[in-house]
Amino acid sequence: MSAGLAIDAVSHAFGPEPVLSGLSVTLPAAQVGCLIGPSGCGKSTLLAMIGGLLRPDQGRVAHPFARPAFVFQDPCLLPWRDARGNIAFGLNALPMSRTECSARADRLLGTVGLTAEDGEKYPRELSGGMRQRVALARALAIEPDLLLLDEPFSALDVGLRRQMQALVRRLIDARGLTTVLVTHDLAEAVRMADRIVVLSPRPAHVAAQHDIGMPRAARDDGFVQAEVGRLLADPATAEALAVEGLS
Ligand SMILES: Nc1ncnc2c1ncn2[C@@H]1O[C@H](COP(=O)(O)OP(=O)(O)OP(=O)(O)O)[C@@H](O)[C@H]1O
């Protein structure tokens, strides 16, 4: 198995406020890891470290990936560019012709379930779900080797959320893309993850870790419900997630 992500004894503080405390986690390449834990415990901080945006005060984050891409809860689209232009935006920095950029953006519109006509719409003309599809396509445009998802579905209603989860699941499985997903939703973590890492309240350490063996495509609602029950039967998981009623 090729090397994946290794987070070793990471501690971090913002001013006097410790946020992460001696946190260690590994994730094999081509797997999906979910970070779940109480609000403010440091999940986004850890994701920023994995993506190279922040250096830990102590400890080490190591991985072989060179092209991380983020998708956030807010799609953060440029309002003055249409959907195609937003998808192609990150490609401007790459040595590609305009025609190649445009062709790649067109392919990605299809990949995320949007039409060529949708590509000509501006963010204000797109629904929340469509905007999040554009953000996903923009992340995939740079052909990332590491996908970092910070609650990308949580602003969507339940139906759309399930559609987007299924789409992302298919895309990461087809590409064998190493992925880290931050979520507040244990059922979502069970649907998406190979490894679920439960963080304690701040300063966060790993309270519990669970590996889900079933192939993602085979996880139906019955499996997800049963697995959520199994995970919550673990006292350390239940305690960490009970803090804000996550369980
Ligand atoms: N750049 C920063 N400067 C100062 N404090 C920060 C900074 N970024 C995060 N924090 C603080 O660090 C703590 C952890 O924040 P973080 O966003 O990582 O938590 P989280 O678990 O992702 O939260 P949530 O689940 O609510 O999104 C919070 O108290 C937050 O206010």
In a domain, 225, yes or no: yes
Same domain, 98 and 44: no
Single out the residue in 123, 143, 163 at which a domain terminates.
143
Same domain, 115 and 233: no
Does ligand 1 have an atom closer than 6 angstroms to the CB of 154?
no
Cα–Cα nearest to 45, from 86, 84, 17: 17
Same domain, 59 and 92: no
Question: Angle at the Cα of 63 (from 196 to 146), degrees rounded to 5?
Answer: 65
In a domain, 92, yes or no: yes
The domain of 103 spans: 78-143
Q: 114 CA to middle of ligand 1, Å?
A: 33
Candidate from 10, 19, 21 with most ligand 1 atoms within 8 A of CB, to mutate: 19
- Give pLDDT, residue 2: 62
In a domain, 13, yes or no: yes
The CATH number of whichever domain residue 203 belongs to comes to 3.40.50.300
Compute mean pLDDT per 10 residues along the chain, 247 residues long, and list them: 87 96 97 96 96 97 96 94 93 83 92 94 95 94 95 88 91 94 95 97 96 94 96 95 62
- Give pLDDT, residue 244: 54
- Give pLDDT, residue 222: 96
- Give pLDDT, residue 1: 47
Same domain, 151 and 93: no
Does ligand 1 have an atom closer than 6 angstroms to the CB of 74?
no
Single out the residue in 143, 168, 185 at which a domain terminates.
143
- Give pLDDT, residue 43: 96
Which DSSP string corresponds to 37-101?
-STTSSHHHHHHHHTTSS--SEEEEE---S-EEEEESS----TTS-HHHHHHGGGGGSS--HHHH
Structural domain count, the chain: 2
In a domain, 72, yes or no: no
Q: 61 CA to middle of ligand 1, Å?
A: 18
In a domain, 50, yes or no: yes
The residue nearest atom 6 of ligand 1, judged by CA position, is 14
The verdict on ipTM greater than 0.95 is: yes
Same domain, 15 and 60: yes
Same domain, 158 and 57: yes
Same domain, 217 and 126: no
In a domain, 156, yes or no: yes
Does ligand 1 have an atom closer than 6 angstroms to the CB of 42?
yes
Structure pTM? Answer: 0.94
Candidate from 45, 180, 185 with most ligand 1 atoms within 8 A of CB, to mutate: 45
Q: 40 CA to middle of ligand 1, Å?
A: 5
Does ligand 1 have an atom closer than 6 angstroms to the CB of 19?
yes
Neighbours of 43 (CB within 10 A): 25
- Give pLDDT, residue 97: 86
In a domain, 189, yes or no: yes
In a domain, 73, yes or no: no
Residue 84 neighbours by CB under 8 Å, 6+ apart: 102, 105, 106, 109, 119, 120
